[in-house]
């Protein structure tokens, strides 16, 4: 890792084989243990938080979007909260500082329909923020967030945000199937649970692998305790199954993992076997 190039805390350069990668911190927010681990036994949770020296009322969370430059494509994975919000919206200014124009990006992958992942996909005036890009989203996920019948299950503000951000993409967004390759070396895998049709992204080049984990897990403690789910996980039982499958895949492929919300930025690490389960090992910076 090039420490000089990575001296900023809101961006991080690294490579996966021949691909140049840049993690961008769109923003930060703090959560609490009650929200993140709704079914954890109280005393056990207190012990785990203590062991990690974490304050249960202030658990930091990042929004780590990823730019990947392959030989022929410039791919953005997730778009942060977007401008015009009280927090977040740093994606575009940081891209500009890095010399990347919105028109340089030809592929945008949206892992799921929550605001912190789709907020930056259109501008405040409702135009695609990356005008030359083809946008991709899982088929079930797109149907969920664009159907009034399913949007009725969400809060008014969440549903309105999805309408505002996703409807303008109707003509340019392609829905994707499980296992589909988006560009050479980059494929998506359906990973339901957190939302009904979330996708993760597998990036492979020259024998190296990166797994963009999206919101399969929201905190490193979810790796140790895959059965502790959050308030934001739509289907808790499926969330647990998907975590187990993805964690084991990362181990089996010795993949570097980018977990969108994991502190500290840049949310990169490895999932390592630990007894009969796993634990998170952040990269050394």
DSSP H or E stretch at residue 222: helix 221-224
Look up tokens 């923003």; give the residue.
27
The nearest distance, CB 142 to Zn ion, in angstroms, is 17
- Locate 124 and state its tokens: 């405040």
For Zn ion, the closer CB: 151 or 183: 151
Query: Please, which residue, 6 or 85, has the CB nearer to Zn ion?
Result: 85
Beta bridge partner(s), residue 15: 20
Q: Which is nearer to Zn ion, 114 or 219 (CB)?
A: 114
Nearest-angstrom CA–CA distance, 158 and 42: 30
Residue entry with tokens 């923020």 = 129
Report, in Å, the least distance between residue 114 CB and Zn ion.
5
Please answer whether residues 261 and 219 qualify as being in contact, where contact means their C-beta atoms are separated by less than 8 angstroms: yes
Identify which of residues 36 and 186 has a Cβ nearer to Zn ion in the complex: 36
Least spacing, CB of residue 265 vs Zn ion, in Å: 14
250 three-state secondary structure = helix
Contact set with Zn ion (CB under 5 A): 114, 116, 215
- Closer residue to Zn ion (CB): 116 or 185: 116
Q: Which is nearer to Zn ion, 80 or 168 (CB)?
A: 80
| Residue 260: CB minimum distance to Zn ion, A | 6
List C-alpha distances in Å: 181 to 143, 195, 215, 260, 270.
20, 21, 20, 21, 23
User: Would you state the structure tokens that stand for residue 173, as one six-digit string?
Assistant: 């967004």
What percent of the residues of the chain are helix, what percent strand, and what percent coil, each to the nearest 5?
A: 25, 30, 45
Q: Which is nearer to Zn ion, 114 or 225 (CB)?
A: 114
Beta-ladder partners of 259 = none
In whole angstroms, the minimum distance from the beta carbon of 2 to Zn ion comes to: 28
The SS3 of residue 108 is strand
Provide, rounded to whole angstroms, the least separation between the CB of residue 150 and Zn ion: 18
Instruction: Tell me which DSSP letter residue 159 carries.
Output: H
Residue matched to tokens 């009322």: 57
Q: Are 265 and 23 in contact (CB under 8 A)?
A: yes
CB of 46 to Zn ion, least distance (A): 25
Alpha-carbon distance of 84 to 107, in angstroms, equals: 24
Residue 113 vs 226, nearer CB to Zn ion: 113
81: closest CA among 29, 147, 42? 29
Give the bridge partners for 270, in sequence order: 281
As measured in angstroms, the least distance from the Cβ of 5 to Zn ion is 27
């Amino acid at each position: 890792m090039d420490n000089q190039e990575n001296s900023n805390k809101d961006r991080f350069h690294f490579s996966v084989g021949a691909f140049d990668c840049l993690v961008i911190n769109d923003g930060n927010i703090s959560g609490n243990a009650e929200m993140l681990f709704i079914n954890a036994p109280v005393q056990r949770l207190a012990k785990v938080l203590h062991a990690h020296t974490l304050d249960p009322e202030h658990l930091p969370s990042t929004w780590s979007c990823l730019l990947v430059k392959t030989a022929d494509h410039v791919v953005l994975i997730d778009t942060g909260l977007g401008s015009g919000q009280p927090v977040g919206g740093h994606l575009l200014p940081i891209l500009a500082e890095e010399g990347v124009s919105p028109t340089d990006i030809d592929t945008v992958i949206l892992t799921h329909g929550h605001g912190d992942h789709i907020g930056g996909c259109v501008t405040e005036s409702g135009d695609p923020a990356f005008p030359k890009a083809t946008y991709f989203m899982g088929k079930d996920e797109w149907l969920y967030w664009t159907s009034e019948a399913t949007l009725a299950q969400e809060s008014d503000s969440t549903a309105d945000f999805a309408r505002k951000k996703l409807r303008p993409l109707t003509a340019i967004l392609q829905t994707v199937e499980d296992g589909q390759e988006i560009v050479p070396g980059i494929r998506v895998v359906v990973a339901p649970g957190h939302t009904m049709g979330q996708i993760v992204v597998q990036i492979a080049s020259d024998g190296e692998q990166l797994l963009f984990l999206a919101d399969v897990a929201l905190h490193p403690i979810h790796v140790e305790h895959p059965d502790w789910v959050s308030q934001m996980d739509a289907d808790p039982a499926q969330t647990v199954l998907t975590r187990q499958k993805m964690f084991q895949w990362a181990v089996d492929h010795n993949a570097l993992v980018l977990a969108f919300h994991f502190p500290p930025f840049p949310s990169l690490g490895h999932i390592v076997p630990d007894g009969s389960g796993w634990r998170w090992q952040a990269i050394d910076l």
